[in-house]
Amino acid sequence: MMQALDGPSVLEVFDTNAVGIVRVTEAALLLEQSENPVVVNVSSALGSFWATHEASRPASHFVSIAYGASKAAVSMLTVQYAHAHPQIRVNAVEPGITATQLGGGDPGSHPGPTGRRERAGRRAARPHQPRRHDWNLPGGRWRARLVIGA
């Protein structure tokens, strides 16, 4: 799949994947918070510096200039919102290969196991069970977590 790398196309990708997180998170911060508030952002291995350099990971074999950069921004937004709002648990999940045009088409051609997204969502909802990256604040309590699909 070819990606358009002209200015307006790249801006659209960043507007959806990065600026969209800021819009939704800022709007949610205005709402009354629960006793245990959680923000879960959807990231991608294509935006992971680790996964794109690890030969065993599919992301290391896929060129994704605008999308990958926008998903790297998602990871940084996750960390920065966790620092800015220590009363809120802020997570990012990576659902793995999904049945989308980018991930390989319809569900019949889906290379990942059935139910991967549902399992990733359940893992993300469980505190203190990271799959890959944790960012800790002083005192040893995690504040931001990037959960990478199996």
Taking all residues of the chain, what is their mean pLDDT, rounded to a whole number? 76
Burial category of 100 from C-beta neighbours within 10 Å (exposed 0-12, middle 13-18, buried 19 and up): exposed
Residue 2 covered by a domain? no
Q: Is the pLDDT of residue 53 over 70?
A: yes
Residue 31 covered by a domain? no
pTM higher than 0.75: no
Average pLDDT, integer, range 66-79: 96
Q: Look at the chain and report how many structural domains it folds into.
A: 1
Q: Report the distance separating Cα 108 and Cα 54, nearest Å.
A: 28
User: What is the domain range of residue 86?
Assistant: 7-22+36-148
Write out pLDDT tens, residues 101-120. Answer: 666 655 555 444 444 444 44
